[in-house]
Structure 1
């Protein structure tokens, strides 16, 4: 679970801004909160609202940026590729900062780093509770002792393991996170008693999922369709529930040559699948026309199957199969969200989605959020959205502390604030006030009389 995220001097963010999932003072909708771990409870849902170019997407990009540095790292000879805040000259020589406060496997952690395009200047990991924090490690290139690993090393009995960990720390490139070095240098296999570090890496790798408007979510349910009839039935039930007109789905075997994907890519996938030495390993490829292919290995041969929908035909018992590229954008969007919703309800997942409403009817958007909230009473997962869809801006659906606004100040810097900051009654409908600009997160449209060029053309 994400407890809090802070960002500074990154993209449209200048001074440090905090996005918090900590519950406020309100007592209504208690089922929207998780049970406390070390005194800390977390909200399961949050929606960010704001005008175009206010910074909503930049906040999500910052969250994804940190995840990418942890899991993929930076090439040794490359710069750390990002953009500082450009509308304040003081930011040019100022470091940037990102921090995550997370909850995972029964513990709370604060992990973050200070950086510029050439180096990680600081990096830290603490275990935190409501009243205390315990350092796990700290890195500071301005300190003569670059790494403080004392709290890890004291629990390791083997001198050989201690030396190995210190060697990895000392050898971490300036432009690389220590967490990435731990992940890629087989430290897990050679050093014991680093469970907290591995736990945080696991959160980035297996819990945090960031989805942008053009992304397709292809993990989860779709990959198991041909192996689990119950999952297949669940998928079909969701499609009927959302009124798509689809009566079923299936995987249709197709010839290798008919796949609308470059053959070089298919060959590379085959090579990767064979190297994993598992007949159950699957991969998906998306064509430019919304078609999903599934690839697997059987007796060293590449088997290609196309994900298809099935519709009833008047006067015919047999269902007609459709390529998903023949379905509407909205239907394809729903099909993306079904496995996402299923994974959410499995627990231990944090989904952060930019522009979830794209191609979706407002009622569907509302219902997807409401469905998750209603089914997640005893489940620890989070659904965090950035949206323009004001129909979900209602206290019938969300708590005040689940609603956040992103606005730009007069100098072009993005600022975050919560509906919790406003004196709003629990039964007040807030959508109208939002559209009227009370919460500031709407476009400031100019005076159309100043569009003199239009007056000229209309004469």
Structure 2
């Protein structure tokens, strides 16, 4: 679970901003909170509202950036690719900062790093509790390390191996990445805390954009009949007009997937460190929908998903996904997310959740998650323009966030919890009127001089 995320000098975020999933003292909707881990509960959902270019998507990009930097790393002698805040000359010369506070494997951690395009300046990992913190490791002055907690768990030779690995970490590489890419686990007694954090990024956190094509995480392939029934029930529930689905086995190499997608799938499914058993994905080149799994020989297999529509006479006609509406294809992308959400232990961060979907469907999807999540520890974090979600009947005040830009173009985050409003007040109208900011400031249409207006 994500507890808090801190960002500074990254994309449109100039100043230090904190996105928090810590619940306030309010007692409403207690099922929206997880059971405490070492005294800390977190919220299971949050929605970030804001105008176009306010910073909503940049917040999500920042969260994904750390994940990609850990799991993929940076090539030797290559720059760390990212954009700082460019609208202030002071920011151009300053370093950037990202920190995650997370909950995983029944522990709470704070992991973060300070960096620029050339190197990692600082990096740290602490186990955090309400009244104390334990330093697992800290990296300062680019490549100076301190391992107080690890030195207590490992003998002298094992600690020397850890220190040797640290010294071999390139300046443009995170220590976590170096740990992930070496066989250090086989040479030391206990680095479980570091491995827990890596596992959170690899197997718990999923970021989904409007055009994301790979979906699904710890998907354990069900028997075909169960999977067909599950999809059929969900597609019927969402009123798609589809009467069922079917699978057609094909050779993986005949899917004609883009090279970068194939690489992502191989990394996700064939890695020894991955818990993923399969993946759902739609091919952007042919709008076909595939289920990819690995067999006992650790080879990838593919099945093409077809939708079924009843025709006159009681028979069924099979359709490719390209023959369905944009909204239906979006729902198909979300069904694996729904499956994994209710398995627990997953964090889904979705940008523009509302794309191609009816407002009533979006509202019902949130209501569905929150009604059934009492014993489920998963998170659903969304950036959206869909104002029908902006109601205290659905969400707590601390689950509603706004992204706004100041006059210098810097993004800021604040929560509805910052406002003194009653628990029963409907906030959507006030939001659209601008009380909570986060709405577009439109110009004066009478100042438009180029368009050929007809004023007759």
TM-score by length of 2: 0.92
Residues 205-247 of structure 1, C-alpha deviation per residue, up to 9 Å, x if partnerless? 100101111003432597725x343333222111111111111
Runs of 4+ displaced beyond 4 Å: 220-223, 254-270, 272-276, 280-285, 294-304, 455-459
Counterpart contact for 1:250–1:307, Cα < 8 Å: yes
Residues 358-381 of structure 1, C-alpha deviation per residue, up to 9 Å, x if partnerless? 000001101111111111101110
SS of match in other structure, 2:376: coil
Q: Counterparts of 1:87-236 in structure 2 under 5 Å?
A: 87-141=87-141, 146-157=144-155, 159-220=156-217, 224=221, 227-236=223-232
Counterpart contact for 2:216–2:278, Cα < 8 Å: no
CA RMSD of aligned residues (A): 2.9
SS of match in other structure, 1:336: helix
2:306 counterpart of 1:308: yes
Question: How far does residue 133 in structure 1 lie from its aligned partner after superposition?
Answer: 1.1
Q: Counterparts of 1:6-45 in structure 2 under 5 Å?
A: 6-45=6-45
Q: Counterparts of 1:26-425 in structure 2 under 5 Å?
A: 26-141=26-141, 146-157=144-155, 159-220=156-217, 224=221, 227-254=223-250, 259=255, 261=257, 286-294=283-291, 304-316=302-314, 318-425=315-422
Query: Following the alignment from structure 1 to structure 2, what is the Cα–Cα distance between the partners of residues 405 and 250?
Result: 42
Question: How far does residue 292 in structure 1 lie from its aligned partner after superposition?
Answer: 1.8
Query: Following the alignment from structure 2 to structure 1, what is the Cα–Cα distance between the partners of residues 286 and 411?
Result: 36
Query: Following the alignment from structure 1 to structure 2, what is the Cα–Cα distance between the partners of residues 267 and 420?
Result: 43
1:56/1:23 CA distance change after superposition, 3 Å: same
1:168/1:441 CA distance change after superposition, 3 Å: same
SS of match in other structure, 2:42: coil
Question: How far does residue 356 in structure 1 lie from its aligned partner after superposition?
Answer: 0.6
Question: How far does residue 299 in structure 1 lie from its aligned partner after superposition?
Answer: 11
Counterpart contact for 1:101–1:111, Cα < 8 Å: yes
Residues 9-32 of structure 1, C-alpha deviation per residue, up to 9 Å, x if partnerless? 000000100000000121111110
Instruction: Say how many residue pairs are matched.
Output: 451
Structure 2 residue runs of 5 or longer lacking an equivalent are none
Question: How far does residue 160 in structure 1 lie from its aligned partner after superposition?
Answer: 2.7
2:432 counterpart of 1:435: yes
Question: How far does residue 5 in structure 1 lie from its aligned partner after superposition?
Answer: 0.2
Question: How far does residue 265 in structure 1 lie from its aligned partner after superposition?
Answer: 9.0
SS of match in other structure, 2:169: coil
Query: Following the alignment from structure 1 to structure 2, what is the Cα–Cα distance between the partners of residues 184 and 268?
Result: 17
Query: Following the alignment from structure 1 to structure 2, what is the Cα–Cα distance between the partners of residues 408 and 440?
Result: 9
Counterpart contact for 2:203–2:217, Cα < 8 Å: no
Query: Following the alignment from structure 1 to structure 2, what is the Cα–Cα distance between the partners of residues 208 and 296?
Result: 20
TM-score by length of 1: 0.91
Counterpart contact for 1:312–1:320, Cα < 8 Å: yes
Residues 168-209 of structure 1, C-alpha deviation per residue, up to 9 Å, x if partnerless? 001100000000100011212222211111111110010010
Counterpart contact for 2:218–2:277, Cα < 8 Å: no
SS of match in other structure, 1:452: coil
Question: How far does residue 430 in structure 1 lie from its aligned partner after superposition?
Answer: 0.6
Counterpart contact for 2:203–2:218, Cα < 8 Å: no
1:264/1:427 CA distance change after superposition, 3 Å: closer
Query: Following the alignment from structure 2 to structure 1, what is the Cα–Cα distance between the partners of residues 98 and 353?
Result: 25
Counterpart contact for 1:220–1:342, Cα < 8 Å: no
Query: Which moved further from structure 2: 93-102 or 305-314?
Result: 305-314
Counterpart contact for 1:217–1:337, Cα < 8 Å: no
Query: Following the alignment from structure 2 to structure 1, what is the Cα–Cα distance between the partners of residues 218 and 75?
Result: 34
SS of match in other structure, 2:339: helix
SS of match in other structure, 1:92: helix
Query: Following the alignment from structure 1 to structure 2, what is the Cα–Cα distance between the partners of residues 35 and 394?
Result: 24
Query: Following the alignment from structure 1 to structure 2, what is the Cα–Cα distance between the partners of residues 383 and 451?
Result: 41
